[in-house]
């Protein structure tokens, strides 16, 4: 039995699918049981636990062979990551109390970066969970290919992909969430001691121009990548409803300037198999 947080999301569902396909038992840890009905129908055990409820989380993490953990995404954090730190404290307390045999934790490329940015919270998570007297694997994934969902409408209607990643001919490490979930499931079946870091990207790095070309191929019409000027980001993010847009802008700066990167050399970064065009085709088909 493997407990999975985030099973209703892209990565968590891929972890569960992979384990279920192998005939393994899954416990879906969810805040709302109604949202897990499809997983229940597939034979999953359901555990209801809010990420801030230590007692419920502890119960959900007990009696399993491994736990997959992720933090709910916080794209617009309060200054100082107040909400995120509270969730980290609850998760750590529950893991420490439940003592599962192994933990696989979704982290991110650039978790080791010391510069202020949106991903600092995952660096804090790695520091905190590394202190647990348990086997913990941090899966540092590249930029999700599925982030291109935000580009579907303009690519389809206007033939334009407005890119914050720049310059347009720079290749960035991207990966499909399916590949992240499959590797996370594989790690849950391994045995190790202490803390380990596993880094993952897709089969090849992707430039914004290549991302636009992938949209063009799938849509069947020309799509051009255009730079979104840096001096307009904060105003744009604020118009989108963000109250604290600076960490998001700093994160993108980190990708563009190269200090959000993998810690390992290229030879030790694992490669997924799902191509960008496959992901773009699925996004367009669904939206």
Q: Tell me the per-residue pLDDT of 68-95, one tens digit each, with 9 for 90 and over.
A: 999 998 999 999 999 999 999 999 999 9
Residue 263 binned pLDDT confidence (cut-offs 50, 70, 90):
very high
DSSP letter for each residue of 234-259: HHHHHHTT-S--HHHHHHHHHHHHT-
Phi, psi at residue 278, to the nearest 5°? -65, -45
Which of 33-37, 78-82, 96-100 has the highest mean predicted lDDT (pLDDT)? 96-100
- What SS3 state is found at 106? strand
Q: Are 173 and 237 in contact (CB under 8 A)?
A: no
Does the pLDDT of residue 105 top 90, yes or no?
yes
DSSP for residue 140: E
pTM of the entire predicted model: 0.96
Does the pLDDT of residue 267 top 90, yes or no?
no
Question: What is the structure's pLDDT at 266?
Answer: 83
Structure tokens at 36: 């897990």
Region class of 32: left (phi > 0), else alpha (psi between -120 and 50), else beta: beta
Question: What is the structure's pLDDT at 287?
Answer: 83
Question: What is the structure's pLDDT at 58?
Answer: 98
* Mean pLDDT, rounded, of the chain: 97
Q: Are 95 and 135 in contact (CB under 8 A)?
A: no
């Amino acid at each position: 039995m493997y407990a999975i947080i985030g099973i209703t999301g892209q990565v968590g569902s891929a972890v569960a699918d992979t384990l279920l396909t192998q005939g393994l038992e899954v416990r879906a840890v969810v805040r709302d049981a109604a949202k897990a009905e499809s997983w229940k129908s597939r034979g999953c055990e359901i555990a209801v636990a809010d990420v801030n409820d230590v007692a419920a989380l502890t119960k959900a993490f007990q009696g399993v062979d491994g736990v997959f953990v992720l933090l709910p995404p916080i794209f617009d954090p309060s200054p100082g990551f107040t909400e995120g730190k509270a969730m980290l404290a609850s998760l750590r307390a529950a893991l420490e109390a439940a003592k599962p045999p192994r933990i696989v934790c979704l982290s991110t490329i650039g978790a080791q970066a010391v510069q202020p940015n949106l991903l600092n919270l995952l660096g804090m998570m790695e520091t905190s969970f590394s202190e647990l007297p348990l086997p913990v694997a941090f899966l540092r994934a590249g930029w999700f290919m599925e982030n291109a969902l935000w580009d579907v409408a303009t690519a389809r209607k206007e033939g334009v992909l407005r890119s914050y990643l720049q310059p347009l001919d720079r290749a960035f490490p991207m990966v499909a969430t399916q590949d992240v979930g499959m590797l996370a499931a594989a790690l849950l079946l391994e045995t190790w001691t202490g803390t380990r870091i596993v880094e993952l990207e897709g089969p090849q790095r992707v430039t914004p121009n290549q991302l636009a070309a992938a949209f063009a191929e799938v849509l069947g019409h020309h799509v051009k990548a255009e730079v979104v000027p840096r001096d307009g980001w904060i105003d744009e993010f604020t118009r989108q409803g963000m109250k604290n847009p600076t960490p998001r802008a700093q994160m993108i700066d980190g990708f563009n300037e190269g200090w959000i990167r993998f810690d390992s050399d290229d030879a030790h970064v694992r490669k997924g198999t799902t191509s960008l065009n496959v992901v773009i085709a699925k996004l367009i088909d669904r939206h």
